[in-house]
Amino acid sequence: MPASTNSVTGAATAELDAAALTAWLEQHVAGFRGPIALSKFEGGQSNPTYRLDAANGTYVLRRKPFGILLASAHAVEREYRVLTALHPLGFPVPRVFALCEDQAVIGSAFYLMALVEGANFTDGALPYLTKSARTVAYHDMIDTLAALHRIDPQAAGLSTFGRPGNFFERQVARWIKQYRASETDRIEVAERLIVWLPATLPPQTGVAIVHGDYRIDNLIMARSGERVLAVLDWELSTLGDPLSDFSYFLMNWVTPLDGRAGLLGLDLDRLGIPTLERVVARYCEKTSRDAIQDLDWYFAFNLFRLLGIAQGVKKRLMDGNASSARAGELAGRLPQIAAQAWRFAERAGA
């Protein structure tokens, strides 16, 4: 069965100072009352996330990892800001209650949000749904992303959430910097990408609120799959070209079948999952675009970005500070991710 929003790995109170946390939350969250019980959610390589059961109800707590962190990584403060802006607009995100930037409370910054009950599907094939439900589920994933990109950042109070111009130039530079800061060993293919990507930047196609990590396992959906109830994990969100989000989502269609988001190799028509071409057509219709060019470049960039993330995971693993049991698996895929990125670069003319 798919994971639900209360899939946890067991008691995690020992990781945090429960007494200090309870005292802070009682002071800053209306109606909050202890005692509390904490359990850590499974999955995720980034910001550790916990189910928090209090005397007055159930919440979710998300914090930065402990230890030394890269300056621009694990930005729970940005997550809190964008959730605060989007929830009143009716976009499907959890309600947030409080942000604590005082590391003295539990050792890192954190925020508290509502628990959204539903299903967290991690297998892109959606084996637990019917053919028609899979179609509906994927259409709503596409439509939800398109709805995000149609939101006016200024109307949402997010006009200063990022610098809108030269988006891919800044993103490529950022991920090269992130890659270098976490580099554990030299990968020759990555070196070629570091030269090629800045030299072949596509023109910017617009400015929107971008999620930065929009994929199926960052969504809470109705258990029957008919709609997205909440979009999670906004750590990488900013203002930028919406095609960065959309092309990242499209990576599922060119990623080999792996029991997770990858769909390459499946008989999509038989399963009721739209093909890549149909996904592009639906997104273009919902966002009033005529077409999308240069997908191979975007795929190469997205894989290089994943390479930077994987380097960070491997570095935290080596430092004893990884937040997920899957950290070793992702770190071990570094050469394969780099090789796949270069294949798309070659298809784009490298």
pLDDT averaged per 10 residues, the chain (length 350): 52 74 97 95 75 97 72 76 97 97 93 96 94 97 98 96 89 93 87 97 94 94 93 93 96 89 95 98 97 94 91 76 62 84 95
For residues 155 and 209, is the Cβ–Cβ distance under 8 A?
no
DSSP state of 275: P
What is the reported pTM?
0.88
Q: How many domains does the chain have?
A: 2
Q: Which of 117, 149, 169 is the last residue of a domain?
A: 117
Range of the domain at 106: 3-117
pLDDT for position 323: 57
For residues 304 and 259, is the Cβ–Cβ distance under 8 A?
no
pLDDT for position 256: 87
Q: Are 176 and 193 contained in the same domain? A: yes
Please give the structure tokens belonging to residue 102.
């005082």
Q: Are 289 and 176 contained in the same domain? A: yes
pLDDT for position 293: 87
pLDDT for position 2: 60
pLDDT for position 44: 54
Q: Are 131 and 183 contained in the same domain? A: yes
Q: Which of 71, 94, 117 is the last residue of a domain?
A: 117
Q: Which of 83, 117, 151 is the last residue of a domain?
A: 117
Q: Are 183 and 226 contained in the same domain? A: yes
Q: Are 175 and 289 contained in the same domain? A: yes
Q: Are 269 and 280 contained in the same domain? A: yes
Q: Which of 134, 127, 124, 122 is nearest to 262 (CA)?
A: 124
Q: Which amino acid, one-letter code, is at 307? A: L
CATH number, residue 85: 3.30.200.20
Q: Are 205 and 310 contained in the same domain? A: yes
Q: Are 78 and 141 contained in the same domain? A: no
How many CB atoms neighbour CB 15 within 10 A? 15
Give residue 112's region: left, alpha or beta (phi > 0; psi -120 to 50): beta
pLDDT for position 11: 46
CATH number, residue 298: 3.90.1200.10
pLDDT for position 165: 82
Angle at 120 between CA 116 and CA 126, to 5 degrees: 140
Q: Are 84 and 124 contained in the same domain? A: no
Q: Are 312 and 168 contained in the same domain? A: yes
User: What is the SS3 assignment for 228?
Assistant: strand
Task: Name the residue with tokens 């894989």.
Answer: 303
Q: Are 73 and 137 contained in the same domain? A: no
pLDDT for position 53: 97
pLDDT for position 287: 97
